[in-house]
């Protein structure tokens, strides 16, 4: 069965992918490659030696699926305390789609990215607590990831619109040639403490820029909140 997405509006747009609410399951989303960027285009945009890599390595869906399978084998269910589930591929009229957990608030609306939440509500006490809990989890479990970016983390809120947890939805996988889990645990935790410190610094810088009147970019901002889906 081929799921129809071409007549639907995506709720989010990334650099290489579009994100849609699953037409048959509002608790899941489908990520498809943007039609305006072919794999050949992505490879041509890279410099040497990255432009020598095979085309498949530029497919974000394939890479995310591979990474999530490996993380699930290594961590099991504890991973999903702060990482969205990945459910594999489906056929769509926009090409192969990767199905993932769609994080929603208790009121049913799609959770904002941390970037959008900070821009709209600031750093509340409950959000600050949720950030600290997320960072402690990341440091303790040493989840392989690239840099922790505010548009790759979403904020799930409870029925009172209070931040209840942060969930990583993108940017997972080792960022170095040597997999982190090959190294001593003490070294891994030191490395991830550095990542969470940089995460806090990004948050502080973003808040300072907002206070100075700088308008945030559209990256990480919802196109719609899913409430009509």
Q: Considering the chain, what percentage of its residues have pLDDT values greater than 70? A: 86
Q: Evaluate if residue 26 carries a pLDDT over 80.
A: yes
User: Do the beta carbons of residue 153 and residue 145 sit within 8 Å?
Assistant: no
- Mean of pLDDT values over 61-72: 95
Q: How many CB atoms lie within 10 A of CB 67?
A: 17
Burial class from Cβ neighbours inside 10 Å (0-12, 13-18, 19+) for residue 21 reads: buried
Distance CA 162, CA 160 (A): 5
pLDDT digits (tens, 9 = 90+) for 170-194: 999 986 656 666 677 788 889 899 9
Cα 115 to its chain centre, rounded Å, is: 12
Q: How many CB atoms lie within 10 A of CB 219?
A: 16
> Which of 28-37, 80-89, 102-111, 129-138 bottoms out in mean pLDDT, i.e. has the lowest?
28-37
The 3-state DSSP class for residue 104 equals: strand
């Amino acid at each position: 069965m081929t799921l129809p997405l071409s007549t639907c509006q995506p709720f989010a747009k990334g650099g290489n992918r579009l994100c849609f609410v699953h037409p048959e399951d509002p608790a899941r989303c489908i990520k498809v490659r943007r039609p305006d960027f072919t794999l050949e285009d992505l490879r041509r945009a890279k410099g040497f030696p990255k432009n020598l890599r095979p085309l498949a390595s530029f497919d974000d869906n394939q890479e995310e699926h591979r990474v999530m399978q490996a993380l699930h084998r290594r961590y099991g269910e504890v991973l999903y305390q702060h990482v969205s589930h990945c459910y594999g591929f489906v056929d769509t009229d926009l090409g192969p789609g990767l199905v993932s957990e769609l994080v929603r608030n208790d009121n049913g609306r799609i959770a904002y990215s941390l970037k959008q939440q900070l821009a709209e509500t600031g750093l509340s006490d409950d959000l600050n607590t949720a950030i600290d809990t997320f960072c402690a989890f990341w440091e303790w479990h040493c989840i392989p990831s690239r840099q922790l970016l505010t548009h790759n983390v979403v904020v799930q809120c409870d029925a009172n619109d209070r931040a209840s947890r942060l969930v990583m939805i993108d940017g997972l996988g080792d960022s170095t040639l040597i997999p982190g889990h090959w190294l001593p645990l003490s070294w891994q935790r030191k490395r991830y403490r550095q990542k969470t410190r940089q995460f806090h610094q990004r948050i502080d810088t973003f808040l300072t820029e907002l206070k100075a009147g700088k308008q945030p970019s559209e990256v990480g901002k919802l196109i719609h909140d899913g409430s009509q889906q």
